[in-house]
Amino acid sequence: MLGRRFHLLTACAILAASGSIPALAQSAASAASSPYQLNLLYTGELWDQAVGGVRRGALMMNNVDAQLRVDTDRAFGWTGGQAVLEGFYEGRNSFGNHYAGAVDQQSPIDSAGFEMFRLYQAFYDQNFGSTDVLIGIYDLESEFSTTKPMSLFLSKDLTWNTALDQSGTMPQNGTVGPGNYPYTPLAVRVRQTINPDWSVQAVLADGASDNPKHQASNGVFISSHYGALAMGEVDYTPSSSTKVMLGVWALTSKLPTNNEFTTGHQPRMVYGQQGGYLGGATRLFNGEGKTGLDGFLTLGVSAPQSTNTSQSINGGLVYTGPFAQRPHDKIGVSFNENIAPNSYKAAQAAMGNGFQNNETSFEITYRAKLNEWLTMQPDIQYIIHPGYDPAYKNDLIIGLHFEIGHLFDL
């Protein structure tokens, strides 16, 4: 009964999004009248595992986020600066872990089954003209290996590259890894603008976003065992709609190998994991105003010793303004393929487990801001060989993501 009601709700949302409800600008507000802004956002998601995966069923996930942003120029006279303090509450439900069983999560708010109330970001960002420096706790995914069209999609396969997202995330490592939601590290980021078209940015972050043995905890956890994550990216941006990026990263944590063992039959530990990515996005077709078609493509690679994904490739198309009466809505289709390294497959074979060589996923989604406080986004995902596990049938997932929020001038 829940699944039937959920399908009906999703269908109603699609009809509403494509109908005659007036569209508003995607931005939360126009020019701010105060240097202090508080953004309160509730995000809810209904997900239905219609076919395949770990098991069929439906659930709801919730996230409450509060962000305080301070323009230090207008507040204190510190020209070019901004401070951000942000925290969230996330419920225990995990659709990815309990239903889909794929390599990465299908939702941007999935915390892998841990209920948590935690600090998400707390940083100060200072612009010195051509040089910009950020220091504090922040989400690396917001600035590295990302393009504008990718932000439409819900699956984490599409909002980053999976080879990077899975770095250091073997089960016994806890929160060691790439430094994105929900585990965000202490970091220093420097961005240098070379000319209007070229820029370079680099970040040095704590390798463990929190204590890996207590994943729902909150705080800064610095340890030589978990090391650091370093990442650099070169960007070519000849226009606001075109970006080409090339990045490299290295994680210095002590990690277990997939299929190498000590004389005590424990995984052999090695220091370090490395990888890189290449990608970009561009406007393929211009319509009236800001309407048009954008495309993106990203390739990620990772050293194969201590990961379940050594290569990933994602791409997609996003159309802005699919209906004349709704010029700010977006509709998108995308794909992603994760490739398992030989070391991971050898480990599965040694344990008597079957395995697939790759996992391929597709997503189609439609985002509509229905009024100044409500945004709705129906979503369909199809995953072939979820989790590289031949025991799982292909996933057919239907979701409804919605946001209720308001930006306050304090």
The residue-averaged pLDDT of 96-107 equals: 92
Q: What are phi and psi of 283, to 5 degrees?
A: -80, 125
DSSP reduced 3-state for 142: helix
Q: How far is CA 403 from the centre of its chain?
A: 17
Q: What's the pLDDT at 176?
A: 66
Please give the pLDDT value at position 215.
Answer: 66
pLDDT for residue 272: 84
Spatial separation of the C-alpha atoms in residues 324 and 42, rounded to whole Å: 29
Find the mean pLDDT for residues 264-273.
83
Exposed e or buried b per residue across 226-260, where buried means at least 16 C-beta atoms within 10 angstroms of its C-beta:
bbbbbbbbebebeeebbbebebebbbbbbbbbbbe
Q: Give residue 22's pLDDT band: very low, low, confident or very high (50, 70, 90).
A: very low
- Ranking 167-171, 187-191, 219-223 by mean pLDDT, the lowest is 167-171
Nearest to 282 by CA among 293, 297, 298, 294: 294
Contact of 214 with 224, CB cutoff 8 Å = no
What distance in Å separates the CA atoms of residue 88 and residue 341, rounded to the nearest whole number? 35
Higher-pLDDT residue of 253, 199:
199
Give tens-digit pLDDT for 25-53.
333 444 457 999 999 999 999 999 999 99
pLDDT per residue as tens digits for the range 333-368? 999 999 999 999 998 998 888 999 999 999 999 999
User: CB-based contacts of 80: which residues, under 8 Å, 6+ apart?
Assistant: 73, 126, 127, 128, 129
Q: Give yes or no for residue 209 having a pLDDT over 80.
A: no
Q: Is 344 left (phi over 0), alpha (psi -120 to 50) or beta?
A: alpha
Asked whether 356 and 385 are in contact (CB, 8 A), the reply is: yes
Percent above pLDDT 90 for the chain: 67
Q: Of 122-126, 138-142, 171-175, 227-231, which range is least confident? A: 171-175
Strand partners, 338: 312, 359
Q: pLDDT at position 212, please?
A: 67
Residue 26, Cα to own-chain centre: how many angstroms?
19
313 versus 177: the higher-pLDDT residue is 313
Q: Which two tokens stand for residue 298?
A: 């990203």
What does the pLDDT look like over 281-337, one tens digit per residue? Answer: 999 999 888 899 999 999 999 999 888 999 999 999 999 999 989 999 999 999 999
368, 377 Cβ separation under 8 angstroms:
yes
Would you place residue 258 in the very low, low, confident or very high pLDDT band (cuts 50, 70, 90)?
Answer: confident
- Cβ atoms within 10 Å of 286's Cβ, excluding its own: 11
What's the pLDDT at 225?
Answer: 76
What domains are there in the chain, each with its CATH number? 2-409 (2.40.160.180)
* Residues 107 and 399 sit within 8 Å (Cβ to Cβ): yes
Residue 2 region by backbone torsions, left for phi larger than 0, else alpha for psi between -120 and 50, else beta: alpha
What confidence tier does 207 reach under pLDDT thresholds 50, 70, 90? Answer: confident
**If you write DSSP's letter for every residue of 343-362 in order, what string do you get?**
HHHHHHHHTT----SEEEEE
Question: What is the pTM assigned to this prediction?
Answer: 0.88
Q: What is the pLDDT of residue 310?
A: 94
Q: Give the type of residue at 367.
A: R
